[in-house]
Amino acid sequence: MLLFCAVQGTYSPRRTTLPEIDDSLLIRVGEDDRDAFEELYRKSGRAVYAFALSLLKNPDDTQDIVQETFLKIRGAAHLYRPMGKPMAWILTIARNLCNSRLRQSALSVEDCKMEDSLQFSYVTDPTDRLVLESALRILGEEERQILLLHCVAGMKHREIAQDLGMPLSTVLSRYNRSLKKLRNHLTAQGVLS
Amino acid sequence: MNKREIPAALRRAAEQLPMPHSQELWEMPVSKQTELDYITAQELPQVPTRRRAFLPALTCCIVLLFFGWFWQYRMVETTVFLDVNPSIQITANRRDRVLEVTGLNADGRSLIEGQVFSGLPLPTVLGQLADTLAQRNYLTPEKSTVLLTVQSRRQSHVQELESLLSSSIQSALEPRKIAPAIILQTYEEDASLQQAASQQQVSPGKMQYIRQILEEEDDYSLEELASMSLEDLRRLAQKEAGDDWEEDDDLEEEDREDWDSEDQEDDWHASQSEKDTDDGGQEDEDSDRSDDLEEEDDPDEEIPSGEDDGEEDEDPDDSEEGDDN
């Protein structure tokens, strides 16, 4: 608690990193191992959420997609072919579900106006909410993905590059660019000093 | 807030957004899929572009190298048929190195049994085979006919090869005092020829030779010629080529020489006797006289007037002088 209070409102010296997931966890999930499933959800749930949120920009839809993603994993884990990149498979499932949802709702990312700010009423701190909303509004799709996967899910840039199939240099440059864009926007808004 | 606080703000905000509970997810009914669908399909690992471009280029290089090696070392460039009585086929690559030696009849197969020729220079192999043929008395000083048929993809190389192979055979047989009669011919690939050769159990080279004989010779059938030895075939070919008539010409020439050297005197004598018995033989006498005049060295000698033979007989020196001239 003291550590939490000490860091509240200030820059966190240590970012939470994503725990490592290996193929054996998915194989055990395919064998209907509950402990394995809960471990999998604990290790990857936040990353799936951040990724889906970057695509849908809507917390409610994001929650549905996270649920569908892990139900899909339960139904197909026994068919999973170990390739050493289990997180990539999980994020691919999330992406395909998001795209399906977007097609159904006939809403493109650019068309999402985010007019209903009540969606983010879950976030109590207004500054934090403004930062999140700004990130989802002004950044491009890949910038959002990279920023949220790194900041929210705790994934390393190398892991993001591997799982999204991008070069590491692209991930790094887009991350920095997204931070700069967000900084400039927030400065203009008077949020940043 | 400074810019370094942006990642933390994002994380705090996201952590407050609602997420499903793992227990709820576990308790929801799920039907097991029988196969991966478009949602759960696994993507194959992407090979980096540079490696993707490198692999086809490397494969192409390997294929080109292999083709180059094959063209130089394994592709048949030259085929040689060696016929004595055994029939043997020798194939060689572009570098005139032997690829394979095959016996085309029983004697041929027996001849090459146990010997390794692959990789050796073509002239060397021909020499070895010639030596073996001599060892086994297929080639002797009396029976020395060799039919050598050459076919090459490079027409410009055929003549040179024929010369080289002939020399090699001659060199190999020289220690055994065998002077081979080498019949050289260029082989023209022909499917019907190969089929006929196979039926008669002779080499295509020998079959080509037989066909050439058949074009001139009507007295023999294909089967009869195929069963003949090469010596007999060569004699037959020479006969049909008119060598016997040329021999008669030689004889006439020889006869002419003999006449010139020996019979002139007899002829002169004979002509003289004709003059004795023939009063109208003046012309002959004149011709004879003119001959004598031409040949006469001594103007004081009496010119025979065609009277008694005795005078002539008494003057044998005149004719001798004429003969000398």
Rounded to the nearest angstrom, the gap between the alpha carbon of residue B140 and the centroid of all alpha carbons in its chain is 22
Closest-CA distance of chain B to residue A129, Å? 6
| Nearest-Cα residue of chain B relative to residue A43 | B22
Helices (H), B201-315: 204-216, 222-227, 230-240, 243-258, 264-277, 282-295, 309-314
Instruction: Quickly state the pLDDT bin for B234 (edges 50, 70, 90).
Output: confident
Percent of chain A residues past pLDDT 70, beyond the cut? 83
Average pLDDT rounded to a whole number, residues A133-143: 92
Please report the pLDDT score of residue B250 as a whole number: 44
Please report the pLDDT score of residue B232 as a whole number: 86
Rounded to the nearest angstrom, the gap between the alpha carbon of residue B123 and the centroid of all alpha carbons in its chain is 12
Residue B270 pLDDT greater than 90, yes or no: no
Do residue B18 and residue A10 have CB atoms under 8 angstroms apart? no
Pick from B3, B9, B20: CB nearest A63: B20
| Nearest-Cα residue of chain A relative to residue B45 | A83
Query: What does CATH list as the number for A2-188?
Result: 1.10.1740.10
End-to-end CA distance of chain A: 28
| Nearest-Cα residue of chain B relative to residue A70 | B25
CA dihedral B156, B160, B165, B171 (to 10 degrees): 180
Average pLDDT rounded to a whole number, residues A89-98: 94
Do residue A71 and residue B28 have CB atoms under 8 angstroms apart? yes
Pick from A53, A76, A88: CB nearest B14: A53
Do residue B22 and residue A45 have CB atoms under 8 angstroms apart? yes
Laid out side by side, the sheet with B87-92 consists of B98-103, B87-92, B78-83, B145-152, B181-186
Instruction: Quickly state the pLDDT bin for B266 (edges 50, 70, 90).
Output: low
List chain B residues with CB under 8 Å of A83: 42, 45
Please report the pLDDT score of residue A137 as a whole number: 92
Do residue A49 and residue B8 have CB atoms under 8 angstroms apart? no
Pick from A15, A83, A192: CB nearest B45: A83
CA distance B296 to B112: 73
CA distance B222 to A90: 82
- The CA-based angle B192-B195-B201, given to 5 degrees, is 140
pLDDT tens figures, B236-250: 887 766 544 444 444
Please report the pLDDT score of residue A2 as a whole number: 44
Please report the pLDDT score of residue A64 as a whole number: 93
List chain A residues with CB under 8 Å of B43: 88, 92, 165
Please report the pLDDT score of residue B273 as a whole number: 61
Please report the pLDDT score of residue B71 as a whole number: 82
Average pLDDT rounded to a whole number, residues A156-172: 90
Closest-CA distance of chain A to residue B36, Å? 7
pLDDT tens figures, B134-147: 999 999 998 899 99
A44-81 as b/e, with b when 16 or more CB fall inside 10 Å?
bbbbbbbbbbbbbbbbebbbbbbbbbbbbbbbbbeebe
Please report the pLDDT score of residue B267 as a whole number: 54
What SS3 class is residue B183? Answer: strand
Percent of chain B residues past pLDDT 70, beyond the cut? 70
Pick from B1, B12, B25: CB nearest A67: B25
pLDDT tens figures, B159-178: 888 999 999 999 999 998 99
Please report the pLDDT score of residue B199 as a whole number: 86
CA distance B119 to B111: 19
Do residue A75 and residue B5 have CB atoms under 8 angstroms apart? no
| Mean pLDDT across chain A | 84
Tokens found for residue B316: 């044998």
pLDDT tens figures, B30-78: 999 998 988 998 876 666 666 667 888 888 999 999 888 888 788 899 9
pLDDT tens figures, B99-145: 999 999 889 999 999 889 999 999 999 999 999 999 999 999 988 99
Tokens found for residue A148: 């949220």
Pick from A15, A72, A193: CB nearest B40: A72
Instruction: Quickly state the pLDDT bin for A173 (edges 50, 70, 90).
Output: very high
Do residue A80 and residue B42 have CB atoms under 8 angstroms apart? yes
Please state at what angle helix A168-189 crosses helix A126-138, rounded to 10 degrees: 120
| Nearest-Cα residue of chain A relative to residue B3 | A183
Percent of chain B residues past pLDDT 90, beyond the cut? 33
Least confident of A19-28, A56-65, B298-307: B298-307
Tokens found for residue B304: 């025979």
Please report the pLDDT score of residue B240 as a whole number: 64
Do residue B25 and residue A71 have CB atoms under 8 angstroms apart? yes
CA distance A179 to B3: 8
Pick from A10, A62, A152: CB nearest B11: A152
List chain B residues with CB under 8 Å of A96: 38-40
List chain A residues with CB under 8 Å of B31: 75
Task: Spell out the residues 6+ positions from residue B16 whose beta carbon is closer than 8 angstroms to its own.
Answer: A122, A123, A124, A128
Do residue A192 and residue B2 have CB atoms under 8 angstroms apart? yes
Do residue B2 and residue A34 have CB atoms under 8 angstroms apart? no
Please report the pLDDT score of residue B298 as a whole number: 46
Average pLDDT rounded to a whole number, residues B285-297: 45
Q: Where are the domains of chain A?
A: 2-188
Per DSSP, the residues of B207-221 read HHHHHHHHHH--SS-
